[in-house]
Amino acid sequence: MEIKRSVTNKRAVLLLTVFIMLFCILLGRIVYIQTTKKVDGQNLQAIAQDRWNRSDVIEGVRGTIYDRSGSALAQELNSYTVFAVLDKDQNSFVEDVEETARQLAPLINTSEEHLRKVLSAGEEEGKFQIELGSGARNLTFAEASEIRDLKLGGIHFRDEPRRYYPKQTYASHVIGYTERDMGQARMGLERSLDQLLKAEDGLLHYQSDRKGLPLPNPSQHITPATNGNDVYLTLDSNIQTALEQVMSQVEKEYDPEKMIAIVADPKTGEILAMSNRPSFNPNEYEQITNYLNYAVSDRYEPGSTMKIFTVAAAIEEGVYNGQEKYQSGSIQVADVRFGDHNEARGWGTITFDEGFLRSSNVAMSKLVLEKLGVEKLYDYLHRFGFDSKTGIDLPNEAEALIARNGRVDAAATSFGQGTAVTPIQQIQAATAIANNGKMMKPYIVDRIVNPDTNETMKKNEPEVVGEPISKETAVRVRDLLGQVVTSPVGTGHPYNIEGFDIAGKTGTAQIRNPNTTGYIHGHGENIFSFLGMAPKEDPKLVVYVAVERPRISQVESGSAPTSLIFNTIMKHSLQYLNITPTVEEIVEKTEKGFETANYLNQSIEKVKETLAGQQIELVIFGDGMKVEAQQPIEAKGMLARERLFLRTDSDTFKMPDMKGWSNRDVRRFAKVLELNPTFFGNGYVKTQSVEPGTMIKKGEYLVVELDSLTEIDVEQEDEVDQTVE
């Protein structure tokens, strides 16, 4: 027994020893893990945090670009991308490739055959999910909803922000665009102000359960997103919309190589409108053919618009005698003979005033070489800002190329040849003429605002950048420019707008031949331009228009497309700014026919009952129950089949199809909805800027083209500035 007990005790001691050793090893391991938080080189704390901690991105919003009245020109919107899940282990996957392709293809702008091949190839390659092409990206809520309503298995959506340009081709070279996929700003203000516009994403850190759901009382840490700043421009949508409309009309009718138009306030330097052709829709930037904003990035020989500043310099220096006579026709300067635009025939012996009105190259050459002096000419080019950039807040502004090699270059520069300048430089220089000697720096960004705090980060103010001439000189130059338009011998007849005092100068510059040292010749093979201002006595607007190589007939003058743009936009803008009396009110009272009553605050049903049997077409806007506005108003006579417009107490309204409506109908319609209409032509509605069926609100802009546009008779000869070799 004692031997057996001894053996048992030894075994117990051994087991105890083993147990104690194992316990010590386990305890040591636990202490080690607790201390180092590592197992086999793996960081347990990091693994736990990775398993239970979650981070979600809080997306910031890129800043919005607005016009001067606060209407969005570029904004961030939610969009949707469609993708297909092919993995059969998922709850929802593409089961029927044929049926899915048949229903989905028309809604993502692709062919049924192509989509079927894409889906089939993805299945064969064992892909979990696939993208469906460009047509399946950047969909609107309505487009996504239409696809969602099909309830196709395996078709899913991903929310993504997208940059949207609601006014499409509106000032597209000014605004620019950002790429959809990469979000990179590529052009215009979108690029130059990218650091101010772009947002910074934030992060939300939280703890979750094994399914990824937030725990009831998690500890959270939030890094808030920073939204981009909003940019407000000086562009006036009423003027800009009208400019885009007439530019598109001229582009369609004359198919020029390119066009440029700028509208500015000479008192402040604010750019109210700016447009180029060819243009583009920033929402479809893949189709861009022209990446240059010609208004600031293009330089060319301006032609006779430069004569404005040559004469201004001569008047300011006291060497201009408008009644002094000279021999027109041609002038020899060193080894070059310069001629007047009528094939150097000239008009005999005429005064310098008449020479300016007729746009004589010889008159300008004589002024510089015999009176003003070469050095003074270049001094005044400097004063007018032609030898430096304007500094406008737009990217890629070009510098002028001023020819300075002696008397020949000075003579050519005096009438706009040899020296190349930009359109925006001409606008800046013209503000000195319009603003009684004070030259204003052009700008297009009014202010930059933090949308979260409403703090103004930057505010541009009108800036005088020089006073190249006196008030007296400016007044005298404007008087001469007015005569260019109104005088029987002036070259600006096509720009004479009845009822308005227009002052301006025509320009018809030759284009250098890239294959030779000379110029391109031929009818219409020029840059036709006009730099004008109004009203002449105290200009509120300066407008520059240039059209390069329009397709004009042999009986048409190059001023036809240019004057169509200038006259339309100048007349429209002056009337819009209430600078001149508005057109006469349309007489609405008739001796016979139906007479309107006061329908305000009556129910729609009651009005319908009242007018039942009358030969009046009732047009009702909105889905409200009561009448909030009417046109014509009470006690106005209406003829049979005329339209009576009623606006209900609603927030939005559906745009009607106005094709065939009369001018009177459109005015009544615009008045009842408080719209801002712009009219082109006379007669009946041919096109409208807002598509029928579009939802609109009060105060929006509307452009209407009426059938049978009034043709502008042009009898003046183009004053092509030329060198007689």
Catalytic (active-site) positions: 304
3 state SS for 519-557:
ECCCCCCEEEEEEEEECCCCCCEEEEEEEECCCCCCCCC
State how far the Cα of 342 lies from the Cα of 620, in Å rounded to an integer. Answer: 60
> Where are the strands (E) in 406-468, listed by range?
439-440, 445-449, 456-459, 464-466
Q: Which of 343, 337, 444, 156 is nearest to 725 (CA)?
A: 337
Eight-state DSSP code of residue 371: I
> Where are the strands (E) in 592-691, listed by range?
594-595, 617-621, 627-631, 637-638, 643-648, 653-654, 676-680, 685-688
Compute CA 614 distance to the chain's CA centroid, rounded to the nearest angstrom: 46
CB 530 within 8 A of CB 507: yes
Cα maximum dimension of the chain: 155
**How do strand 653-654 and strand 38-39 relate by DSSP bridges?**
unpaired
Helical (H) or strand (E) element with 670: helix 663-672
List the Cα angle 410/387/434 in 5-degree steps: 90
Eight-state DSSP code of residue 387: T
- Indicate if the alpha-carbon torsion angle 485, 491, 497, 502 is positive or negative: negative
End-to-end Cα distance, the chain: 141
List the Cα angle 586/590/596 in 5-degree steps: 90
Buried b (16+ CB within 10 A) or exposed e, 474-483: bebbbebbbb
State how far the Cα of 107 lies from the Cα of 430, in Å rounded to an integer. Answer: 52
Nearest-10 Cα torsion for 491, 496, 500, 502: -20
- Indicate if the alpha-carbon torsion angle 204, 210, 212, 213 is positive or negative: negative
How distant, in Å, are the alpha carbons of 111, 146, 210 from that of 106? 7, 11, 41
CB 419 within 8 A of CB 364: no
Residue position matching structure tokens 């009470």: 634
Amino acid (1-letter code) at residue 197: L
CB 717 within 8 A of CB 506: no
Q: Which of 519, 483, 521 is nearest to 502 (CA)?
A: 483
State how far the Cα of 217 lies from the Cα of 124, in Å rounded to an integer. Answer: 46
Eight-state DSSP code of residue 383: H
List the Cα angle 70/71/72 in 5-degree steps: 110
Residue position matching structure tokens 């022209």: 290
Eight-state DSSP code of residue 710: P
- Phi then psi for residue 116, to 5 deg, are -65, -40
State how far the Cα of 286 lies from the Cα of 138, in Å rounded to an integer. Answer: 14
